[in-house]
Structure 1
Amino acid sequence: MVETLEIDGSMGEGGGQVLRTAVALSALLKKPVRVFNIRAKRSNPGLRPQHLAAVKAVASLTGARVEGLSVGSSQILFYPGEVKASDIELDVGTAGSISLVLQAMMPVLAFSGREVTLVLKGGTDNPRAPPIDYVREVLARNLSRTGYVVDLSVERRGFYPRGGGIVRFRSRPVERLKPFQITDFPGLKSVRVFVYSSKLPRHVAERIAGSASSQIRSRLGVEPTVEYEVLSGEEPNASLDPGCGVLIIGTLGDGTVFASSALGERGKPSEKVGGEAVSEFIRQVEQRAPADRNLADQLVVYAALADGVSALRTHEVTLHTLTTISLVELFLPVRFKVYGEVGSPGGYRVSGAGFKR
């Protein structure tokens, strides 16, 4: 019998990411896992509906048996079965983040043995998670370096509080993941400002774009392209609740893509929304770091599984990233070399385990 791996959910950053990553690796490596002290460092500890959705989603891909799966539960036991991915529809619930549910599912789908299509319902734009457009524009494009190809389309946006967004996601599996090198900054090739809004006056999106574009011009000397997705509310694909946001996407000379984002909220001026995204974007450019902090975090699992040496440099090392690294090292025979302090520029390097389907 395979020994059950014990994971303290309060380790490091201590949020839902520990649970999502542990369940994904448990399913992929066929190692039973008990995660306890789930979200112990949060004001409302234990499982929330969006965490249940992520665990159930991974379980559905593997025929896993799960114990302790209820709202408020502080521990679960996950007993994985064989990865037998199939096309599924999943309701994350209200405005629960679709991006975070995909974070748990994607490593498993990478080795599923067949192309899989998912239809996910929930929140596309959540203040506590990367927007769904980040997954499409940044994570997916950088993952293609490993040979793992995913694509997605947003059929309807879902904002807080009701969510109701719809995302169609397709995954094409690999035998092995190729390693990646995201360490050089060969200069900006282009900057794109993507602004979206629903059930709000058009001038809201225009002011966000205007603020972001003018600051990019003045501080970076670059003329960005601007793309709008503005829905009045009458369209069949309009969101249930009003909302808006911006994603600023930078492409480097070697094709590496990074981004920063900001989400609108009641009472926040449009100019501030644009300014928030620009500030983060410019900080990264000034550090000449090719990977944003979200990418550094989300590529840890793939680097550990890849067949070869991967390396990445980011403008900000986060506790999220360090926590994921510590967790991955409990599951796989790998050791990351990490440099840089939390909140400062840094990166990591690792010789991956060469996992094969």
Structure 2
Amino acid sequence: MLEEKLGMLEIDGSYGEGGGSIVRLACAFSAVTGKPFKIYNIRAKRDRPGLKAQHLTAVESVAKLCGADVKGLYPNSKELEFHPSEIKSGNLDLDVGTAGSIALVLQALMIPAFHASSEINIKIKGGTHTKHAPTIGYLQNVTLPLLKKIGYKAEINLNRYGFYPKGGGIVKARVWPSRLKPVTLTEKGRLEKIVGEAVATKGLQKARVAERMKEKAVELCEKVGIKPKIKINYVDAYGNGAAIDIFALYENSVIGGSAIGEIRKSAEDVARKAVERFSRAYRSKAPIDMHAADQLLPYLALATNVESGKSKIKVESISEHTKTNIWLLKKFLSVDFLVKGNIIEIKKK
């Protein structure tokens, strides 16, 4: 097509898992590579297709960061054009406007942000613990430590909790210019400790929601020989909410499992869901859990695209998200992915 001849990538937003991550990742890599793109069929496989609040905020934030010209940026839009300019340092103050996930907006920003000439300070208001997204605790305790291994420099601070469905949380992040390096990560190494946090709003303290999540999580973990140390935390927030994170720290890696409280879901059921997710990653011999794999791949692709050598990681499982990310990354970068079982190798073309 003519647009492709002029250098604009065309992306089918219904490919693979067909969700919002295609939009976020495309914007991030467009900012990094300078390649404009047009995406259609946005979130076509979702019950409510098109751009929602958190997707709009993610696109707007990356556009601000790189001075992009954007067309089609409005609620429920199913097509979008993104024409990036130069990534600049400075401060970003963002508001998702709902309980939309701060973590997902941060994921879009963190990829281009480390390419700036000096540090970038980011403040985002929205949901810190929401459905279908990593918790901020997961980003702090799993994502950042893994990224640090490849040279990424950032910090994330949770200033106010914001639970599904009301949000209102505040997160501040700082990202410094970084030089990434390829990595081989195929072994967990020695287990050092298993920790976690059961957090709930103060309005749920009489019902002992945090204690009940902790007690059930510890009970279920101990049945399979896992002995976590989980702290209890009651916090101020808009409305009521609860969540539990469980993390295992190894010599070479970190894995995690989380669950979010919902209306008509008991504290015990929330804990059960978190333990299910955590124990799958714990039983796996892979040092990268399923959700971390999706988050780590873009950075490893960037490291391999610039540096000589290759990256090799072993992941808990290859999800549809992972397959879709690989498909999209190959559109922006000169890298190849070789997937054998649950081993992913990334090398420059």
Q: Same-fold call, TM > 0.5?
A: yes
Partner of 2:320: 319
* Mapped pair 1:125 → 2:129: yes
1:68-90 C-alpha deviation (Å, 9 max, x unpaired): 11111111110000111311100
| Correspondent of 1:268 among 265, 270, 292 | 265
Contact 1:62 1:85 (8 Å CA) reproduced: no
* Native 8 Å contact 2:197 2:246 kept in 1: yes
Give the TM-score normalised by structure 1.
0.92
User: Helix, strand or coil: the match of 2:32?
Assistant: helix
**Gapped regions of structure 1 (runs ≥ 5):** 232-237, 341-345
Paired residue for 1:241? Answer: 239
Query: Which position in structure 2 is the counterpart of 1:204?
Result: 209
Provide the C-alpha distance between the structure 2 equivalents of 1:161 and 1:223, rounded to a whole number of angstroms: 32
Q: Which residue identity does 1:33 align to in structure 2?
A: F
Instruction: Kindly report the root-mean-square deviation, in angstroms, between the aligned alpha carbons of the 2 structures.
Output: 1.4
Aligned residue in 2 for 1:29 = 33
Structure 2 equivalent of residue 292 of structure 1: 289
Instruction: Using the TM superposition, give the Cα deviation of residue 193 of structure 1 relative to its aligned residue in structure 2, in angstroms.
Output: 1.9
SS of corresponding position for 1:60: helix
Give the deviation of 1:188 after TM superposition. 2.0
**Residue in 1 aligned with 2:164?**
160
TM-score by length of 2: 0.94
Deviation at 1:252, TM superposition (A): 1.0
What is the match of residue 170 of structure 1? 174
Q: Would you say 1:214 and 2:210 are equivalent positions?
A: no
Q: Secondary structure at the match of 1:336?
A: strand
Q: Is the 8 A contact 1:193 1:212 kept in 2?
A: no
Q: Secondary structure at the match of 1:31?
A: coil
1:235 equivalent in structure 2: none
Q: Is 2:155–2:173's contact at 8 Å kept on the other side of the alignment?
A: yes
Partner of 2:345 in structure 1?
349
Count of residues paired in the alignment: 339
User: Which residue is equivalent to 1:329?
Assistant: 330
Equivalent-residue separation in structure 2 for 1:187 and 1:277 (angstroms): 23
Contact 1:2/1:31 (<8 A) preserved: no
Match of 1:40 in 2: 44
Partner Cα distance (1:352, 1:268) in 2: 47
Q: Which amino acid aligns with 2:316?
A: H
Contact 1:95-1:123 within 8 A present in 2 as well:
yes
SS of structure 2 residue aligned to 1:167? strand
Task: Tell me which residue corresponds to 2:250.
Answer: 252
Inter-partner Cα distance in structure 2 for 1:200 and 1:311: 44
| 8 Å Cα contact 2:8-2:38 kept in structure 1 | yes
| Partner Cα distance (1:162, 1:352) in 2 | 44
Within a 5 Å distance, the mapping from 1:38-187 to structure 2 comes to 38-174=42-178, 176-187=179-190
Q: Distance in 1 between matches of 2:343 and 2:247?
A: 21
Residues 249, 257 of structure 1: 8 Å contact kept:
yes
Residue 309 (structure 1) shift = 1.4
Q: Shift in Å at residue 162 of structure 1?
A: 2.2
Q: How many Å separate the matches in 2 of 1:162 and 1:190?
A: 33
Q: CA deviation at 1:349?
A: 1.0
Cα distance change on mapping 1:9 and 1:279 into 2, 3 Å: same
Match in the other structure for 2:196: 193
Mapped partners of 1:192, 1:67: distance in 2: 45
Amino acid at match of 2:287: P
Post-superposition Cα deviations, 1:120-150, rounded to whole Å, max 9, x if no partner, equal: 0011111111111111111011100111111
Cα distance in structure 2, aligned partners of 1:180 and 1:241: 43
- Alpha-carbon separation, structure 2, partners of 1:214 and 1:322: 35
- What CA distance in whole angstroms lies between the structure 1 residues aligned with 2:30 and 2:11? 11
Contact 2:255/2:282, CA 8 A, preserved across alignment = no
SS at match of 1:124: coil
- Secondary structure at the aligned position of 1:56 is classed as helix
Classify 1:287/1:294 alpha carbon distance in 2 versus 1 (closer, same or farther; 3 Å). same
Asked if 1 retains the 8 angstrom alpha-carbon contact of 2:131 and 2:164, the reply is: no
Task: Give the drift of 1:352.
Answer: 4.8
Q: Is the 8 A contact 1:179 1:309 kept in 2?
A: yes
Letter in 1 for 2:238: L
Q: Residue 310 of structure 2 aligns with which residue?
A: 309
Question: 1:2: how far off?
Answer: 5.4
Q: Could you tell me how far apart the structure 2 residues matched to 1:162 and 1:204 are?
A: 18
Which deviations, in whole Å up to 9, do the C-alpha atoms of 1:243-287 show, x marking residues without a partner? 001010001123x11100011112212122112111222222222
Instruction: Please give the alpha-carbon distance, in whole angstroms, between the structure 1 residues aligned to 2:79 and 2:299.
Output: 26
Equivalents in 2 of 1:96, 1:24: separation in Å? 19
